[in-house]
Structure 1
Amino acid sequence: MTSPTPAMALSHLRVIDLTRVRAGPTCCRLFADFGADVIQVAATDGADPNSSVTGNRLGSDSQNLHRNKRSIALNLKTPDGLKILMGLVKTADVVVENFRPDVKDRLGFSYEQLAAVNPRIILASISGFGQTGPYAKRAGFDQIAQGMGGLMSVTGEVGGGPMRAGIAVADSSAGNYAAIGILVALAERERSGKGQWVQTSLLQAMIAMTDFQAASYLVEGRVPQTAGNDHPVTTPMGVLPTADGHINIGVGGEGQWASFCKAIARPDLQADPRYCAQERRYHNRAELMGELATIFRTRNSAEWTEVLTAANVPVGPIYSMDQVFGDAQVEHVGIAAPLSHSELGDIHLVGSPLTLSRTPPSVRTEAPRPGEHTMAILKDLGIADGEIESMQAAGAI
């Protein structure tokens, strides 16, 4: 098996990436960043009418999602294309797909069919709503899952109507949950020697991400509402205006409340019967945040950040994306990963948020051109030149 980075944590694994859009590529990227041989299966020209959803190959999104991978172009609707896929499955540890649930059955690579070729294979399926059930065949997108999973009902200003989160939280979390499931299955395979089918969906991932809001309904029967920029429980925790912008503050308990009042030179607030306990602060939140807004407008964000940090009160600026990557701590953790690109020149991608002391992840290679490694991969499988020519003539590759 070809292993591009033998010293890396997952260099012993081969992952077949049958995914599109974001959730699936996010899952596979994690394995690629840790050195797995991730083979992205792209569609041959004209074989997939929805291939445009993957975006411009040289665009920032595609480069970020598909770095560190290799690519083979197959028409899975042809017998030879499916034959090549099954040949890859024999050599692989993991297959990841995010087609609608019926597609893999129709094309011939269901879990049962993959396991017949390789009993150790782990299939990870990411769908919109689940592999079975009344919505199984529906198309699923991030914003649809945000709405159905409850996130939009608790996001936005009070009384302002539902609001989507500004990031693809359902897609990204589903991809990360799928990766966790694969890693669990790989660990279990060490004991049993058998693969299994890992499943998640945008809907399930979104509900899981709502976490304590979902639990408050399930356990207490309480339906959470929007709270704007305020924390739904703890007060004061939220956004305050300053002389030159806004900052976030977080006062998590009575000790921090005392430190906060002292730091802003308002010890009277601590003793005020409206604010002397968390429950009272929550009940009188609008009044308290109004008073604090008046106080915080007297200094700029940097000054307040310095004052509260010195008092061990959680505080932070609210950055635009250019300010994010100009921050000293962001520069220190190195999450803007440099890459020398053959066409784009020197660029940076979003690096892994994980740090491992011995076997760290890395950004090593640019996103491949669709089918860039087709010939090398076919020869690696032992397919002769004459057979490759026949497959080309049949439109399978």
Structure 2
Amino acid sequence: MNESTVPTGRAPALPLSGLKVLDLSRALAGPFCGMILADLGADVIKVEPPDGEMVRTWGPFQDGISVYYLSIHRNKRSVALDFRDPRGLELLREMAAGVDILVENFKPGVMEAMGMAYETLRERNPGLVFASITGFGRGGPYSDWPGMDQIAQGMSGLMSLTGQPESGPTRVGIPIGDVVGGMWATLGIQAAIIERQRTGQGQRIDISLLGGLVGLLTVQGQRQLSLGQTPGVAGNDHPVICPYGTFAAADGPFNMAGATDDMWASICRLVGLEELIDHPDFDSNTKRAARRDEVKRRLNERFATRGKMEWTQALVKLGVPAGPILDLQQVFSDPHVRQTGMVEEIEHPTIGRLEQLANPIRMSSLGGRSVRRAPPLLGQDTAAVLEGFGLPPERIQALLDAGVVRGIEQGDS
């Protein structure tokens, strides 16, 4: 047996073990990025004001703790620090000198005003990967506009594609701009870390909510760029494939994706519409898409005779992708969701048993689990984190006594 493969009895290192992250971000995009890095093993230190960042006040609440906060801060450590105190800012700069990654999503100019511009920080830490998430990016006429998720959804064109013809543009049901911005930032950070292994140098990464969503437009964006076609709201139908969308069974809607001619033939045989398989009006996807309303009408007449799960199972058996439309209560009670580990359980210091969404990445080095630490209480790790940065106990105590930082014993339990 190779020496490197001899079992040691210790858990394998997580993919990003050894990387230290200073997370100065707020709300969602930056914290979501930090959570992914933490899930993958980085030591993510969330720094927030002594009274907590804004999302701690956003309801609803579980046992007095913001559900919003719980949803995006697992696996992190918390430091409460006064950003307005010069001693707090100097401490932040010291910490930035000792980390691999810094994540921030302040308005443009705020980091510079705090004396923490990338150009300043890299003088002490040339290997620093500095990830900045803004609404509209640096440069351009909107660069100093405040950015929020729904504003970016609208300006990216995403809302113009989402919704029903009768309702008009509709936002996505989650803050997709923030989530996607955080995911793009995570991807850029990991690429920068890999490049640093070759060059020894860090770099600045700029992600905008607007750019992150424009980068998702895929075929709809290419239709506009290549053909000058301006798509409108697609409702629950695929914009270019038919039959692909939502259909009406006897007990409610379900989704089906008949993406090929062979699938079309299988669907027709299943519902007793064999005459449509080779009909000159429906014998290609282009023709079916041009007659989408008639295709849906003919299929729905047959689908109305049986339940959605019965149709789903029959279609899946034929190799046609299909599935019921579930609400979240149904999702989290679904046996497949549970058996594949999409929800994990952790012990929270005040809530007790806490269920959390799992990271969907499956890797052998993650050990089959992504939620290892509960979302921290405010200031829960202040003293331990500062000690890890080399601060002596007397300096830590002086900072606590002066209110520059706050520990768990000074906060709510």
Partner SS, residue 223 of structure 1? coil
C-alpha displacement at 1:329, in angstroms? 2.1
1:252 aligns with 259
C-alpha displacement at 1:231, in angstroms? 0.5
1:374 aligned to which of 379, 382, 398 = 382
C-alpha displacement at 1:158, in angstroms? 2.0
Cα distance 1:382–1:396, how it changes in 2: closer, same or farther (>3 A)?
same
2:305 aligned to which of 284, 295, 298 = 298
Would you say the 8 A contact 1:43–1:51 is kept in 2? no
1:383 aligned to which of 363, 388, 391 = 391
**Residue by residue, what CA displacement relative to the aligned partner does 1:231-287 show, whole Å, maximum 9, x if unpaired?**
100001111111111110101111111111112222112132221211111111111
Alignment of 1:261-276 (within 5 A): 261-276=268-283
Partner SS, residue 209 of structure 1? coil
Distance in 2 separating the partners of 1:164 and 1:303: 32
1:157 aligns with 164
Distance in 1 separating the partners of 2:119 and 2:344: 39
Does residue 107 in structure 1 map to residue 114 in structure 2? yes
2:36 aligns with 30
Distance in 1 separating the partners of 2:89 and 2:357: 34
Does residue 362 in structure 1 map to residue 356 in structure 2? no
Amino acid of the residue matched to residue 115 of structure 2? G
Distance in 2 separating the partners of 1:54 and 1:373: 22
2:145 aligns with 138
Does residue 7 in structure 1 map to residue 13 in structure 2? yes
Distance in 1 separating the partners of 2:211 and 2:281: 40
Identity %: 39
Amino acid of the residue matched to residue 192 of structure 1? T
Alignment of 1:226-245 (within 5 A): 226-245=233-252
Alignment of 1:122-137 (within 5 A): 122-137=129-144
Does residue 93 in structure 1 map to residue 76 in structure 2? no
Distance in 1 separating the partners of 2:208 and 2:331: 30
Cα distance 1:327–1:212, how it changes in 2: closer, same or farther (>3 A)?
same
Does residue 200 in structure 1 map to residue 207 in structure 2? yes
1:72 aligned to which of 50, 64, 79 = 79
Distance in 2 separating the partners of 1:113 and 1:58: 37
Would you say the 8 A contact 2:55–2:69 is kept in 1? no
C-alpha displacement at 1:138, in angstroms? 1.3
Would you say the 8 A contact 2:135–2:148 is kept in 1? yes
Gaps of 5+ in 1: none
Would you say the 8 A contact 1:23–1:171 is kept in 2? yes
1:166 aligns with 173
- The range that moved more, 51-60 or 239-248, is 51-60
2:23 aligned to which of 17, 22, 43 = 17
- The range that moved more, 338-347 or 166-175, is 338-347
C-alpha displacement at 1:98, in angstroms? 0.4
Q: Give the alignment's TM-score, normalised by structure 1.
A: 0.94
Partner SS, residue 91 of structure 1? coil
1:278 aligned to which of 272, 282, 285 = 285
C-alpha displacement at 1:288, in angstroms? 1.2
**Residue by residue, what CA displacement relative to the aligned partner does 1:29-49 show, whole Å, maximum 9, x if unpaired?**
011112211100011239x7x
Partner SS, residue 355 of structure 1? coil
Distance in 2 separating the partners of 1:223 and 1:156: 15
1:184 aligns with 191
**Residue by residue, what CA displacement relative to the aligned partner does 1:172-223 show, whole Å, maximum 9, x if unpaired?**
0000000000000000000000000011010001111122111211122111
Does residue 320 in structure 1 map to residue 327 in structure 2? yes
- The range that moved more, 336-345 or 195-204, is 336-345
Gaps of 5+ in 2: 1-10, 406-413
Alignment of 1:35-46 (within 5 A): 35-45=41-51
Partner SS, residue 45 of structure 2? strand
The total of aligned residue pairs comes to 391
C-alpha displacement at 1:147, in angstroms? 0.2
**Residue by residue, what CA displacement relative to the aligned partner does 1:151-176 show, whole Å, maximum 9, x if unpaired?**
11011112532111111111100000
Would you say the 8 A contact 1:20–1:53 is kept in 2? no
Distance in 1 separating the partners of 2:159 and 2:199: 42
Does residue 209 in structure 1 map to residue 216 in structure 2? yes
C-alpha displacement at 1:385, in angstroms? 3.7
Distance in 1 separating the partners of 2:384 and 2:313: 57
Q: Give the alignment's TM-score, normalised by structure 2.
A: 0.90
C-alpha displacement at 1:296, in angstroms? 0.5
Distance in 1 separating the partners of 2:57 and 2:278: 58
C-alpha displacement at 1:131, in angstroms? 2.3
C-alpha displacement at 1:293, in angstroms? 1.2
Distance in 1 separating the partners of 2:321 and 2:102: 43
| Structural RMSD (CA) | 1.8
Distance in 2 separating the partners of 1:365 and 1:339: 7
Distance in 2 separating the partners of 1:111 and 1:6: 34
C-alpha displacement at 1:59, in angstroms? 2.6
Amino acid of the residue matched to residue 201 of structure 1? S
Does residue 336 in structure 1 map to residue 346 in structure 2? no
Amino acid of the residue matched to residue 338 of structure 1? E
